[in-house]
Amino acid sequence: MQDRDYEVLANFRYTLRRFLKFSEEAAGAVGLSPQQHQALLFTRSSGKRRVTVGALAEWLQIKPHSAAELSSRLETAGLLERREDPEDRRRTLLTVSEYGTRLLESLTEVHRRELQRLKEPVRELLAMLDDDHA
């Protein structure tokens, strides 16, 4: 390992941490915890796939009962809708509510702008990795 390897890794982790801090603060500004934001984002990003509490637990790397509690809190807040899976009544399916979708759209727009701002610095850091091993 060379000094530059450590520098690239340190700068990359710093950039990621700054983005995560930005994301946490943006979610907090609209009354969401980072975990709630990620739950809504995962549920919305799943498109036509059925999102279960188990899938949410896997995505967030939390226990299924914690995902069930999280989805219940999001439902109580009017951000998520839970319903029994007609194909397997033991499972609960999740969808983002209209209110949740509006909130998520505004958060996503703010995040897209921040990602656009970070795109070039991240590209440069990744290029440094390629330069070192070319």
Q: What is the pLDDT of residue 77?
A: 97
Q: How many CB atoms lie within 10 A of CB 17?
A: 10
Q: What residue spans define the domains of the chain?
A: 3-132
Q: What is the pLDDT of residue 130?
A: 77
| Contact criterion met (CB below 8 Å) for 3 and 38 | no
Q: What is the pLDDT of residue 133?
A: 55
Distance, first Cα to last Cα, the chain: 15
CATH 3.40.50.620 applies to domain 3-132: no
Taking the chain (134 residues) in runs of 10, the rounded mean pLDDT of each run is 86 94 97 96 89 95 96 97 90 94 96 95 86 58
Distance CA 36, CA 58 (A): 14
Q: What is the pLDDT of residue 132?
A: 56
